[in-house]
């Protein structure tokens, strides 16, 4: 099914910068890049990596996606408001998780005593670290994609082209 979707010819009528090689390579590589990024995010407290690394990998994959399908499909494109929303939501979740410890009478960002700690070495073994890592991943990937969109689409150049 995935291979069928991969090599199906989708003719785009209105295009200015449509590249066949870029689109096929994108369809080949994008699931694996995002799967690796989610692996880094979810194993941030067990193995090397964490919020910034996984968010950077996912952000690079989102840049590749928006570079390919920027002109092709209006329905599937990621606009600037969405990336800014993910960026702000990541920071907000981070602060909200920090205030949970403050609400129960501990310090800011307290982990032990507030969140349930599992067995060490397993995936659910870190309390709030996993939530914070996911929020950081959303923040970093949104920031990278927002930087790229701001640079490529914001304003007009010196010749007046948008």
List residues near other proteins by CB under 8 A. 40, 48-50, 52-53, 56-57, 59-60, 63, 67, 144, 147-148, 151-152, 157-158
Q: Kindly write down the DSSP assignment for every residue of the chain, as one continuous string.
A: -HHHHHH-----SS-SS--HHHHHHHHHHHHHHHHHHHHHHHTTTTSS--HHHHHHHHHHHHHHHHHHSTTT-STT---HHHHHHHHHHHHHHHHHHHHHHHHTTS-TT--BTTBPP--TTSSS-STTHHHHHHHHHHHHHHHHHHHHHHHHHSS--TTS--
- Minimum Å gap between C-beta 76 and other proteins is 19
In the bound complex, what is the minimum distance in angstroms from residue 3's beta carbon to other proteins?
26
Q: Of the two residues 50 and 101, which places its CB atom closer to other proteins in the complex?
A: 50
Q: Which tokens sit at 129? A: 């670290």
Q: Could you tell me the smallest distance in angstroms from the CB atom of residue 68 to other proteins? A: 12
What token pair was written down for 55?
Answer: 């968010």
61 or 135: CB nearest other proteins = 61
Q: How far is the CB of 66 from other proteins (least distance, A)?
A: 10
Tokens for 74, please give them.
Answer: 């209006």
- Nearer to other proteins by C-beta: 76 or 157? 157
Closer by beta carbon to other proteins, 35 or else 152 = 152
Whether 32 and 58 have beta carbons less than 8 Å apart is answered as no
Q: How far is the CB of 150 from other proteins (least distance, A)?
A: 10
User: For residues 60 and 84, which CB has a smaller minimum distance to other proteins in the complex?
Assistant: 60
């Amino acid at each position: 099914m995935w291979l069928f979707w991969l090599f199906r010819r989708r003719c785009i009528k209105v295009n200015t910068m449509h590249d066949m090689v870029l689109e096929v390579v994108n369809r080949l590589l994008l699931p694996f890049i995002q799967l690796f990024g989610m692996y880094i995010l979810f194993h941030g407290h067990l193995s090397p990596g964490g919020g910034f690394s996984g968010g950077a990998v996912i952000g690079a994959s989102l840049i590749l996606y928006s570079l390919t399908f920027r002109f092709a499909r209006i329905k599937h494109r990621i606009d600037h408001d969405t990336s800014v929303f993910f960026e702000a939501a990541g920071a907000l979740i981070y602060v909200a998780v920090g205030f949970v410890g403050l609400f129960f009478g501990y310090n800011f960002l307290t982990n032990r005593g507030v969140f349930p700690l599992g067995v060490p070495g397993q995936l659910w073994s870190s309390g709030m670290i996993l939530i914070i890592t996911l929020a950081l991943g959303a923040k970093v990937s949104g920031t990278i994609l927002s930087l790229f969109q701001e640079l490529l689409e914001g304003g007009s150049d010196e010749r007046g082209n948008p």
